[in-house]
Structure 1
């Protein structure tokens, strides 16, 4: 079956969004009239491949040498209005996420209104940690929180949240909520005081799920349970029930269950309601008075909440049938996000907002009280104003507002309609890639039922492997047999060599050491399988770029 074409109606919607919100047009967004910004935009708009960018920049090699040779700041400053060539050079040759070929990861170009909003936030320079230091910016933060709460199904009068420094910090808050609620003494006495505990996350979660625990002082080997994955790379609910039952039976506290809705490499989406229901059922069974805090790392997938009230039957955007069907299935899972106690929102990813712009959403504002430190620690803040923000509950002493202003601006200018068009376009591109790979010799799409923006795949030598699907199943069948080992290593080496030989052509993809896992053996042991991925969040990417990549698929 040939890949489905995007409808003319959808293309018109997309082109209008690109023209209004991604054109860097100074007539629409006067901020881009600044001479330095205009020059950087022009240079980056040439879309030169990464290997050729330095040589293509006028005097680029010399400028790099001069930059590396700098040791002293100048005695006298530069006259205002004079361009600084090295500054422009560094900006122009930073990673060009607006290049249509850039699909390496869950990162993308910022939209024009988000840049506009972020620059207003930078100009105002509020510190969100304290009402007196931010004044009206505090109201803007509360407004965004209410809007996200409404979108996901939280009570906007009870929900709260914090803009913070990236998704890792959001997930750190998720762990802290659970620790402080189930083990309140830990605030003063640490994690090793009192009852035994186990932190729970999945084997498919972001690496911050583990690094945050290390940061908190958790013994990773003895105090963490990593739940197995299904074939779709989401959390195995059967294994979760078994592990949670064992913990409660032994009187072991489980502070936090960390879920993921949109894994980085294959867009696995965990179910939330079954975990919520399981937790309550087992807590009642074993007399656990404080249930685990359920935090969802939705940093990648959260924008799908813009489709929660989309009319899938009428389909006014004329999203193609395959994408619409997959989107509907995935959105049904995102309806369950409202059962989470907190979740991570990364505007800086699929939200098209500049770094850093991350929000941890909290279902019940009372959760923040569990994090509160003694007011005596905040002696140089006015007591009457302290309670107006989450000053005593935040990790940071400084919370910049550029991400907040960028997020609010993007949401207001794009609206749900604009976001839906952008998201649907990226999903249609991803499905086009999957359809083309499915008929490409030697190619196997990993987790094809995950209709997110991430497309992970393995390549096999077509001269040696006639059935990639069968070969992939053999790779998955973990075995200690030396012949199995040699065969998997040969397959891995072939794909890796192709990836390196092809280079950055057509699309700039990424190599992933853990694209999929083998089957579990009798002792629950497993091993990662490497592969390649393309993440279609880029609003500038078209099918011609995918076709150019596939024409050189095997190098």
Structure 2
């Protein structure tokens, strides 16, 4: 019986449509050129969506959103269909670019809505390398020398923050919450002993964190099974740092109730106001607590430094000669933050987000553990993972939550660290603080506006704006500052605080409309960046510059930012003229 020379249909589809969708396993100049062409066309599609240099439009393409309500979500679900036939890559990428319409252009200096940076090119290329070759950091064998690269990044960060790189360890994870969750699990296991991994949590161990600490503490206490009710909030000072006196009171209360303190979370740069806790004073409070009650175990100290870690770049900076030539205000702000950040080495573990102040793409986070010996309490038996760890010297999958961990995290971070170095990161951070100082000066000159976090020294500026008619009843030219201080300090003005919280939201809504319809700035809103001394939430509009193209000119801020804010407030005043604002 003669064999047919014709190839089967599946072989034809494989050759003509499937294989062109993959990189070749050997050198092939033609295929490489095809790949480059796809990359070029994709870049062209993205570039086409940007405005020109003179255009203030800070979003991509058209300002439209396909999901405005629940019905839109249902519509997307109903219209979702997988094609029967394979498509051409060019057509797929062209269609994908349409979904970028209305997305913020993070490189644009008028995008200041949160601590979301544009990704630097080296990290993009690192991500691309990881995407093409797909290393898995579950162990060395699955990731090749990318495993060594992860160790190298961990060691660079350890040296930067003051850990001993030989004794410490670190690994990348799925975001700041991933680092927080790992620290929570480690702290609970050290507190409740290894047996708790088998029998479960049967004791109300406590987690202490400031009132402006990240809500991830609720996620982690929930998902570990500890329970959110076992989180205790510590009061804050005027600069949004943890109140040490209240911390000691709460620690004593825990002891009197017979409840162990598993972990104290030290927040090194809050999202909304860049509050930085004094980790040195917190450690000293822990030591006094241990001595007083003759305790053998100190509460695990976790530094949630996902934003603030980058200020470690200034640990070795010569502030006296100021070689980067920062302005006096910026230099003093950096130095004040650095004086707190430099004690990160006192924490038992530190959480770091490269996708925040490291300028990589999402997601790219790391947790560094001061003493690698701590990890032994979380290590799983190799017999449970029979198909792994046969030939590897590096086996983080034995103790990480994830089995699969992509190497793109490590590659992206390594590329940025190597490219920017201390000098580059200092320039980026310094520029953004120079911008923050300039913006606050402009806000300070507007009678209807007040900066609500002037004691903080991060990038972010939180401000409130008040109706101009309030000036009629004020004896001060700075009527906004006068009104805000009344609301903040005096409980008898709580109703006014709530009323003007609502006003901030309405102005923020109007700014959102102006963003897409009038090429306004991309600012955001927070409903509770902190509480008043009498317990009421304070809302504010937020300007969070992150672009390396951000300027520091007060005139430009007045023209490109303040003008829109004042106009938005005026529009709200007109729209709600029947209400007492």
Q: Work out whether the TM-score is over 0.5.
A: yes
Aligned partner of residue 531 in structure 1, secondary structure: strand
Aligned partner of residue 334 in structure 2, secondary structure: helix
Of 294, 304, 308, the match for 2:301: 294
Counterpart of 1:164 in structure 2 is 173
Counterpart of 1:303 in structure 2 is 310
Counterpart of 2:577 in structure 1 is none
8 Å contact 2:60–2:104 — kept in the other structure?
no
Structure 2 runs not aligned, ≥5 long: 1-35, 66-72, 569-581
Cα distance in 1 for residues equivalent to 2:120 and 2:380:
38
Counterpart of 2:105 in structure 1 is 96
1:454 lines up with 2:447 in the alignment = no
Structure of higher CA gyration radius: 2
8 Å contact 2:60–2:103 — kept in the other structure?
no
Equivalences for residues 189-200 of structure 1 within 5 A: 189-193=199-203, 196-200=204-208
Query: What displacement does 1:319 show?
Result: 0.8
Cα distance in 2 for residues equivalent to 1:137 and 1:470:
57
> TM-score, normalized by length of structure 1?
0.86
Counterpart of 1:201 in structure 2 is 209
Query: What displacement does 1:225 show?
Result: 1.0
Show CA shifts across 1:60-87 (max 9, x none): xxxx999877432222212355563211
8 Å contact 2:206–2:262 — kept in the other structure?
yes
8 Å contact 1:101–1:545 — kept in the other structure?
no
Cα distance in 2 for residues equivalent to 1:447 and 1:72:
49
Counterpart of 1:477 in structure 2 is 489
1:187 lines up with 2:201 in the alignment = no
Cα distance in 2 for residues equivalent to 1:214 and 1:34:
45
Counterpart of 1:112 in structure 2 is 121
Counterpart of 2:155 in structure 1 is 146
Of 357, 362, 381, the match for 1:355: 362
Query: What displacement does 1:31 show?
Result: 9.9
Cα distance in 2 for residues equivalent to 1:260 and 1:274:
13
Structure 1 runs not aligned, ≥5 long: 1-29, 57-63, 521-525
Query: What displacement does 1:216 show?
Result: 1.4
Cα distance in 1 for residues equivalent to 2:433 and 2:521:
16
Question: Structure 1 residues 245, 459: CA separation in 2 closer, same or farther (over 3 Å shift)?
Answer: same
Of 252, 261, 285, the match for 2:259: 252
Counterpart of 2:532 in structure 1 is 518
Of 529, 532, 535, the match for 2:538: 529
Aligned partner of residue 540 in structure 2, secondary structure: strand
Aligned partner of residue 441 in structure 1, secondary structure: coil
Counterpart of 1:211 in structure 2 is 219
Aligned partner of residue 469 in structure 2, secondary structure: coil
**RMSD of the TM alignment (CA)?**
2.5
8 Å contact 1:443–1:460 — kept in the other structure?
yes
Counterpart of 1:6 in structure 2 is none
Counterpart of 2:17 in structure 1 is none
Counterpart of 1:60 in structure 2 is none
8 Å contact 1:40–1:92 — kept in the other structure?
no
Counterpart of 2:511 in structure 1 is 502
8 Å contact 1:163–1:360 — kept in the other structure?
yes
Question: Structure 1 residues 113, 493: CA separation in 2 closer, same or farther (over 3 Å shift)?
Answer: same
Aligned partner of residue 238 in structure 1, secondary structure: helix
Counterpart of 2:499 in structure 1 is 490
Aligned partner of residue 349 in structure 1, secondary structure: helix
Aligned partner of residue 172 in structure 2, secondary structure: strand
Aligned partner of residue 316 in structure 1, secondary structure: coil
Counterpart of 2:421 in structure 1 is 415
Question: Structure 1 residues 331, 87: CA separation in 2 closer, same or farther (over 3 Å shift)?
Answer: same
Counterpart of 2:81 in structure 1 is 72
Cα distance in 2 for residues equivalent to 1:510 and 1:71:
31
Counterpart of 1:236 in structure 2 is 243
8 Å contact 2:169–2:372 — kept in the other structure?
yes
Show CA shifts across 1:492-542 (max 9, x none): 23333322223325421111000231114xxxxx12111111112221222
8 Å contact 1:67–1:86 — kept in the other structure?
no
8 Å contact 2:262–2:300 — kept in the other structure?
yes
Counterpart of 2:25 in structure 1 is none
Question: Structure 1 residues 502, 382: CA separation in 2 closer, same or farther (over 3 Å shift)?
Answer: closer
Question: Structure 1 residues 122, 170: CA separation in 2 closer, same or farther (over 3 Å shift)?
Answer: same
Moved more, 453-462 or 39-48: 39-48
Question: Structure 1 residues 160, 398: CA separation in 2 closer, same or farther (over 3 Å shift)?
Answer: same
Query: What displacement does 1:171 show?
Result: 0.7
Show CA shifts across 1:197-249 (max 9, x none): 2111111011112121111122323x221111111111111100111122234
Cα distance in 1 for residues equivalent to 2:249 and 2:283:
15
Cα distance in 1 for residues equivalent to 2:438 and 2:489:
29
Counterpart of 2:334 in structure 1 is 327
Counterpart of 2:23 in structure 1 is none
Cα distance in 2 for residues equivalent to 1:216 and 1:55:
40
Aligned partner of residue 62 in structure 2, secondary structure: helix
Counterpart of 2:47 in structure 1 is 41
Of 365, 368, 378, the match for 2:375: 368
Of 265, 278, 288, the match for 1:281: 288
Question: Structure 1 residues 461, 93: CA separation in 2 closer, same or farther (over 3 Å shift)?
Answer: closer
Cα distance in 2 for residues equivalent to 1:419 and 1:79:
41
Aligned partner of residue 407 in structure 1, secondary structure: helix
